[in-house]
């Protein structure tokens, strides 16, 4: 006998409207949603292969790189991080993780599952690393791979990267940067900064949905992966010879086979997520039409407005402001105020989502995002106005209207 089916399971999906002003995901740009409704195509249809090539070219421009191997991984941002590690790192390889929040911890977890000898260095949450500190650890540990976030939304901090690629190359280490939360919200010139691998996501500053992850990696990393190239049975061409390295432990996340799939040989691997490819292409197209500098400036302006508003309300912004992400702002929850009750009221009464955080910061800070399609004046002002109303209802004392006025003044000054 089949289990009882709840009546609501047979109704249309019709979610209430939400303004997603937390650390991500955010509201997708309507143009991205329209692109996702386009006609489905087979993965080897010439039209679709052309869209794949166009997507690669668009993301080379986004990443500011000449890397041939610039493509997308079907899965959320975590899938791209894991794809790199499982394809590059072999059991026993040394991996150094520079962790300044929850998502540094994630990279250490993935590296351990790959069998790596992992060393984690930690910065206090709310701070970032001096590159010299990382260089000292590289000298002491001699890792094959160094992994870090550019921006970690759990702490809202942004790690300076301009010198780190050069440092890693000088010591023979591969630099893997997780730019899930920062890509297209702040500068990340991959080639100029000599970064070996960058993984990203759509659902933050690129103004799309989660489910596909842009990635770029250098020719040197591609060569390392090719040493482990093993084509699965049933697909092997005549004269096939396996790579001399250890077979990559994951089939789905096998970057050697994924490179063949995206490359000219179009070797079958998986069925491409058609609508997600459309989304990735449209996100990159929209970003490039607006322009790198214009998008970065828009995010920085939204950040200044949010910070000014919070400070005008007498709230304390979390962390080192000199190294704050431009697209997410942490703020201490005032004494005597229930952080969860405020978030619930924001959602239920105003349809606005803001976040809390993880670990030692859970329930102690709110995280307010203004990124991608939501890095707009109206979205920022609406969020601040709602927060003012809810905090007043909680008995928090401040000058009503001060936050909105401060944010408006930041925008007016432009």
Given a cut of 70, whether residue 28 has pLDDT beyond it is: yes
Give residue 227's pLDDT: 96
Average pLDDT over residues 161-165: 98
Residue 3 pLDDT: 82
Q: What is the pLDDT of residue 1?
A: 66
- The mean predicted confidence, pLDDT, of the chain is 97
Does the pLDDT of residue 168 top 90, yes or no? yes
For residues 50 and 272, the answer to whether their CB atoms sit within 8 Å is: no
Domain spanning 30-288, CATH architecture: 3-Layer(aba) Sandwich (3.40)
- The 3-state secondary structure of the chain, one letter per residue: CCCCCCHHHHCCCCCCCCEECCCCCCCCCHHHHHHHCCCCCCCCCHHHHHHHHHHHHHHHHHHCCCCCEEEEEECCHHHHHHHHHHHHCCCCCEEEEEECCHHHHHHHHHHHHCCCEEEEEECCECECCCHHHHHHHHHHHCCCEEEEECEECCCCEECCCCCHHHHHHHCCCEEEEECCCCECCECCCCCCCCCCEEECCCCCCCCCCCCEEEEEECHHHHHHHHCCCCCCCCCCCCCCCCCCCCCCCCCCCCHHHHHHHHCCCCCCCCCCCHHHHHHHHHHHHHHHHHCHHHHHHHHHHHHHHHHHHHHHCCCCECCCHHHECCCEEEEECCCCCCHHHHHHHHHHHHCEECECCCHHHCCCEEEEECCHHHCCHHHHHHHHHHHHHHHHHCCCCCCCCHHHHHHHHHHHCC
CATH topology for the 291-412 domain: 3.90.1150
Beta-bridge partners for 213: 73
Mean pLDDT for 245-249 is 95
* pLDDT of the residue at 260: 95
> What are the start and end residues of each CATH 3.90.1150.10 domain in the chain?
291-412
Q: What are the residues whose beta carbons fall under 8 Å from the beta carbon of 152, sequence distance 6 or more?
A: 100, 101, 102, 103, 104, 159, 181
How far is the C-alpha of 285 from the C-alpha of 290, rounded, in Å? Answer: 9
Residue 237's pLDDT band (cuts 50, 70, 90):
confident
Tell me the average pLDDT across 222-228.
96
Residue 7, pLDDT score = 87
- For 112-124, the pLDDT digits (tens) are 999 999 999 999 9
Report pLDDT digits (tens) over 60-69: 999 999 999 9
Question: What digits encode the pLDDT tens for the residues 282-313?
Answer: 999 999 999 999 999 999 999 999 999 999 99
pLDDT tens-place string over residues 135-152: 999 999 999 999 999 999
Average pLDDT over residues 168-180: 98
**pTM for the structure as a whole:** 0.96
Confidence at residue 39, expressed as pLDDT on a 0 to 100 scale:
97
pLDDT above 90 coverage of the chain, percent: 95
The pLDDT value recorded for residue 234 is 86
Domain with CATH 3.40.640.10 in the chain: 30-288
């Amino acid at each position: 006998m089949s289990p009882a089916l709840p009546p609501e399971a047979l109704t249309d999906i019709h979610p209430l409207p939400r303004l997603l002003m937390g650390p991500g995901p955010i509201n997708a740009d309507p143009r991205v949603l329209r692109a996702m409704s386009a006609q489905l195509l087979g993965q080897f249809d010439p039209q679709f292969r052309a869209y794949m090539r166009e997507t690669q070219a668009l993301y080379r421009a986004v990443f500011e790189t000449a890397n041939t191997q610039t493509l997308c991984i079907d899965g959320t941002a975590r899938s791209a991080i894991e794809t790199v590690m499982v394809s590059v790192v072999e059991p026993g390889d040394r991996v150094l993780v520079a962790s300044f929040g929850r998502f540094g911890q994630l990279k250490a977890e993935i590296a351990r599952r790959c069998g790596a000898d992992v060393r984690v260095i930690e910065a206090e949450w709310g701070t970032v690393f001096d590159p010299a500190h990382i260089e000292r650890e590289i000298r002491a540990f001699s890792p094959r791979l160094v992994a870090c976030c550019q921006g970690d939304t759990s702490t809202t901090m942004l790690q300076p990267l301009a010198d780190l690629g050069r440092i890693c190359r000088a010591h023979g280490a591969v630099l893997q940067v997780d730019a899930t939360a920062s890509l297209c919200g702040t500068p990340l010139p991959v080639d100029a900064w000599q970064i070996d691998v960058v993984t990203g996501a759509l659902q933050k500053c690129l103004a799309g949905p989660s489910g596909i992850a842009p990635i770029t990696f250098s020719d040197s990393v591609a060569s390392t992966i090719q040493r482990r190239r093993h084509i699965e049975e049933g697909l092997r061409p005549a004269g096939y010879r396996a790579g001399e390295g250890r077979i990559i432990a994951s089939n789905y996340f096998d970057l050697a086979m994924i490179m063949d799939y995206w490359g000219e040989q179009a070797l079958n691997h998986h069925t491409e997520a058609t609508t997600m490819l459309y989304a990735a292409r449209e996100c990159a197209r929209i970003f490039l039409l607006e322009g790198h500098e214009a998008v970065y400036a828009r995010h920085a302006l939204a950040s200044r407005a949010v910070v000014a508003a919070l400070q005008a309300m007498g709230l304390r912004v979390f962390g080192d402001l000199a190294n704050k992400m431009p697209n997410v702002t942490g703020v201490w929850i005032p004494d005597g105020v229930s952080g969860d009750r405020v978030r619930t009221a924001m959602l239920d009464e105003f349809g606005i989502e803001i976040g809390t955080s993880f670990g030692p910061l859970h329930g102690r800070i709110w995280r307010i995002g203004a990124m991608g399609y939501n890095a707009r004046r109206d979205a920022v002002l609406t969020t601040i106005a709602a927060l003012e109303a809810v905090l007043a209802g909680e008995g928090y004392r401040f000058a009503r209207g001060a936050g909105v006025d401060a944010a408006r003044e930041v925008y007016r000054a432009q």
